[in-house]
Amino acid sequence: MTTAYIDSPAWGLGLATVTASGQVLDVWFPAGNLGLGAAPFASAGAAADPAVDAANAGPGLDPATAAAAAAAAATLDPGATAAAVAAAVAAHGAGAGADTGALVDFSDIADSPDSPGSRLGLSGRVMRVEIQSLGAAPTSTADVYLRLHLLSHRIVRPHQANLDGQFGLLANVAWTSAGPCLPEQVDELRTLERRAGRRLNVFGVDKFPRMVDYVTPPGVRIADADRVRLGAHLAPGTTVMHEGFVNFNAGTLGTSMVEGRISAGVVVGDGTDVGGGSSIMGTLSGGGKETISLGERCLLGANAGIGISLGDDCVVEAGCYVTAGSKLTLPDGRVVKARELSGLSNLLFIRNSVNGRLEVRERQGRGIELNAALHAN
């Protein structure tokens, strides 16, 4: 699978969590508050996006100062927020490219001075984000969050938005039942919660939050919310069972059963079953460059694994792991590396239980059929 970024502008109006020093921890873009094309609120008098870029790239600025300057440049005061919302609502009906849903006005959302977040120096800020081209790398934390939301809202597909350099732009955050905070603030937040008669749950300490805390796409089932990261793309009809996992910039393009691991960058086609405990290799670790995809109506058997792309109607036997360098024996006796078969359709990969060899055979007809009742989400 090749990378094909789309050269399209994108926009979003979101609510950010910002520290006292100006560091952005997260930004939430509800359905209706983001889309492709020119920003419908560009005429509302908000700060121009080049100011954000300049803040990030300004000479002599350390990363923390640059991030704070970028957040300040993109923050809207209540008056500007109301104007931006009015402009967006006016343009929404004219095809502004917004995702389905009514635009959310954040101007009436205020932080209580007695809230745990406020007492930690955290505040909610409305942020206007404009991206000139999704083909260019992100330039700020809010920029990254908009791209991740575009993926999870299914406005763009995996690999249509450039995410180069995202890890350096995202803070390491403690994701808690009382909201995001810096990891070093967890003990203080836990104490504040106990004093208020509540117990704090820490869901993770990571750069990426759970998808369902920000986007809950219609038509899908997710048995364990911890197993799907923000930035995952789940098509209608997708079922992610308890042992399934879907990383960012990855996911499904149609009705699929996910009981195994879909690593970052991996795309799974319509009608495909990723079996229990199975794994599809990604590109984040180990220096891998090839983006792996599975075609339509494929079956990756339980505890199997794949490090090459599959075309349509392929099956990998349960427990069989095929990496790009695996030696495969063809029906005529020749031995080839698995990468030579990457992307081909109608193949069966097995490990011969008599001699232990990895073998590949041709398959006839269409591949598997999923249980329609299980995917009527």
Q: Which of 130, 184, 259, 359 is catalytic?
A: 259
282 and 250 in contact (C-beta within 8 Å)? yes
Helix (H) or strand (E) holding 293: strand 293-294
Give tens-digit pLDDT for 68-80.
555 555 666 655 6
| More confidently predicted of 93 and 108 | 108
Under the phi-then-psi rule, with left for phi > 0, alpha for psi from -120 to 50, and beta for the rest, what region is 265? left
Residues in Cβ contact with 15 at an 8 Å cutoff, skipping those fewer than 6 apart: 27, 28, 106, 109, 124, 125, 126, 127
Give tens-digit pLDDT for 114-123.
677 888 999 9
Amino acid at 259: E
CA–CA dist 237, 272 (Å, integer): 11
* Mean pLDDT (whole number) for 357-375: 78
Return binding residues for succinyl-CoA: 261, 276, 279, 302, 317-318, 325, 337
Strand partners, 233: 251
pLDDT at 333 over 70: yes
Identify the CA nearest to 185 among candidates 113, 115, 121, 110: 121
Return binding residues: 226, 243, 261, 276, 279, 302, 317-318, 325, 337
Label residues 319-356 b or e (16+ Cβ within 10 Å = b).
ebbbebebebbeeeeeeeebbebbebbbbbbbbeeeee
Q: How confident is the model at residue 370 (pLDDT cuts 50, 70, 90)?
A: low
Identify the CA nearest to 251 among candidates 241, 239, 266, 236: 266
Q: How confident is the model at residue 240 (pLDDT cuts 50, 70, 90)?
A: very high
Residues in Cβ contact with 173 at an 8 Å cutoff, skipping those fewer than 6 apart: 25, 26, 180, 181, 182, 183, 205, 206, 207, 209
Domains of the chain: 10-165 (3.30.70.2010), 172-209 (3.30.60.70), 211-375 (2.160.10.10)
Residue 29 to residues 16, 158, 313, Cα–Cα distance (Å):
9, 18, 37
What the block records as the tokens of 338 is 């698995």
Strand partners, 126: 15
CA–CA dist 293, 264 (Å, integer): 11
CA–CA dist 306, 318 (Å, integer): 11
Return binding residues for Mg(2+): 226, 243
Question: CB burial class (10 A; 0-12, 13-18, 19+) of residue 96?
Answer: buried
Q: Is 259 part of the annotated catalytic residue set?
A: yes
What is the residue-wise DSSP string for 84-122? HHHHHHHHHTTT--BPSSPPP-GGG----TTSHHHHTT-
Identify the CA nearest to 374 among candidates 229, 226, 241, 270: 241
343 and 355 in contact (C-beta within 8 Å)? no
Q: How confident is the model at residue 53 (pLDDT cuts 50, 70, 90)?
A: very low
Q: How confident is the model at residue 4 (pLDDT cuts 50, 70, 90)?
A: confident
- What pLDDT, on the 0 to 100 scale, is given for residue 54? 36
Identify the CA nearest to 16 among candidates 109, 155, 119: 109
